[in-house]
Structures are given as C-alpha cells and as structure tokens.
Amino acid sequence: MADGLFETLDYLREIGFTELDASCVAKASGPRSATDGMDESFRERRAVLEALAASAVGCDKCGLAAKRKSVVFGSGNPDADLMFVGEGPGAEEDRQGLPFVGPAGALLTKIIEAIGLEREDVYIANIVKCRPPGNRDPSPEEASACREYLEGQIDLVKPRVLVALGRVAAQNLLGLDRPLGRMRGAWYEVRGVPTRATYHPAALLRNTGFKRPTWEDMQVVRDRLQQPTDC
C-alpha cells in the first residue's frame, strides 16, 4: 500500500495540491480489510478522490468562496461508468453540500432510472464547486479556478461516458463557444472519455419541449454504455 500512497501523492502534486501528505491520503483510504472486495487500484483512486474533496473544502481561489455555505464537490459512485457534469450548485445544493438535490435533481434521478441505472450507480459533479450568487453562470475565471478539481474527478472516477448537462457545462468541458443545440448530437472526447452534451434538467422543467431530445440523447448514452468494453 505504501507504493500506492506515493503514486497518489505524485498525482496530487502534478495537479497542484502540494500541501497534502501521506497521512492525508492514508486517512482518506481508511483501514484495509481483507473482506471488502475492492481491488487496490480502486482503493487508491478513491483515497485520492476523497483527499481532493477535502482540499476543495478549504479552497479560496476565486470570489465564490466568500459567500458559500458549502463546497459541493460531487457525489455518487467513485467507480461509475457514467458521470454527469452540471454548471454549479444552486441554493439547495449550497445548503446541503450535495449536487442536484432540488427539483432538477429529482428529474435527473428519473432520467438516470429511465436508462436502467440508479442514482447510486453514477457520479455527479459540477463545473464549479461553490454557488454563484443568484444562480448566475460561473465566470470563466471561476470555472478556471475549479478546473483542476473537475479534471481530478474525471481522471479518478474513470467513467466510460461523460454527460455535460446544459450549455455552460458543455462549453466548459468541450472548450466550445456554441449554443447547446449545436453541441448536441455528436460525440466528443474529454480527458480520453467519450462525452455527450444534453439539456440541463432545470431547462426541462421550464420547457417540456426539451424532454424528447434529452431522452434521445440519453438513449444514445445508454447504448454506448451497453457496448462491451475492450479487453
């Protein structure tokens, strides 16, 4: 396990978290159990993900830190095949410290269930980890300040498919300045992961006309997930 700790520390240092030491990662990984059924690689990735989340709690790299109630890092299965990325936490997410817990979150849960998964099966994160005032779009500077956290999450979860929820998430993930309608309907690649863009659940609550295209997008995602993985 010691070698794995040093490898995870090297990764953290590469993405800028030089303040973390071996005791931090060891604490995040927890005591080792011969019966937990986890392979060593997964245990190490989970340890780094938890250490990264702990680091985010103290982040003050942008002005969003000043008014937040919570850092909304992410939630779900750290070994998920499917990862969703939204734009940022809203008021309820800021209060609870969890992503997608309001009405849009309830709809996202139904979307996940519609493709044969449970919410606990997927991993959910946002472009920014703190709530922008008034639920405005995060600024480029705010998104940039959080980028290393998001990239760390993608690298550590290692999903088979990423789904960008909404224009802001898609533009930031894909590096494109286009309307969402022009980003839908195609596969992209983000950090080596096949990525699809679709409407944010909040948009579906405002405009039911977006439900059909979102379902079409999610059927494509479902089919991609059902394809056998390469050996």
CB atoms within 10 A of CB 177: 6
Closest CA to 78 of 41, 110, 30: 41
Same domain, 125 and 182: yes
- CB–CB of 170/180 below 8 Å? yes
Range of the domain at 31: 1-57
- Residue 63: inside a domain, yes or no? no
- Residue 116: inside a domain, yes or no? yes
Looking from the CA of 72 toward its CB, the CA atoms found within 13 Å total 30
Same domain, 134 and 176: yes
pLDDT for residue 174 is more than 50: yes
- CB–CB of 48/13 below 8 Å? no
**Residue 193: its pLDDT value, please?**
98
**Residue 12: its pLDDT value, please?**
52
- Residue 184: inside a domain, yes or no? yes
Look at 186 and 46; give whichever has higher pLDDT: 186
Q: Which of 14, 33, 57 is the last residue of a domain?
A: 57
Cα–Cα distance measured from residue 20 to residue 9, given in angstroms and rounded to the nearest whole number: 7
**Residue 40: its pLDDT value, please?**
76
Same domain, 155 and 194: yes
pLDDT > 70 in the chain, percent? 83
Q: Which of 14, 32, 57 is the last residue of a domain?
A: 57
CB atoms within 10 A of CB 120: 11
DSSP 136: P
Same domain, 75 and 53: no
Same domain, 45 and 79: no
Amino acid present at 127: I
Closest CA to 223 of 184, 191, 182, 187: 187
**Residue 109: its pLDDT value, please?**
97
pTM, to two decimals: 0.83
Same domain, 73 and 12: no
CATH number of the domain to which 75 belongs: 3.40.470.10
Strand 75-76 versus strand 123-126 pairing type: antiparallel
- CB–CB of 160/197 below 8 Å? no
17-71 per-position pLDDT tens digit: 444 444 444 444 443 443 344 577 788 888 999 999 999 999 999 999 999 999 9
Beta bridge partners of 76: 123
Same domain, 3 and 116: no
Same domain, 46 and 76: no
Same domain, 46 and 110: no
Same domain, 108 and 35: no
121, two tokens: 């099966």
- Residue 64: inside a domain, yes or no? no
Q: Mean pLDDT throughout 219-223?
A: 98
Element (H, E) at 83: strand 82-86
- Residue 148: inside a domain, yes or no? yes
Specify the number of domains making up the chain: 2
Same domain, 35 and 90: no
Q: Which of 57, 82, 104 is the last residue of a domain?
A: 57
- Residue 42: inside a domain, yes or no? yes
Q: Mean pLDDT throughout 163-173?
A: 98
Same domain, 78 and 109: yes
In the chain, where does DSSP find H-type helix? 2-14, 22-29, 40-57, 91-96, 103-114, 140-157, 167-174, 180-183, 201-206, 211-226
CA-based torsion, 54, 57, 58, 60: positive or negative:
positive
186 alpha carbon, distance to own chain's centre: 20
User: Residue 118 contacts by C-beta under 8 Å, 6 or more apart in sequence?
Assistant: 112
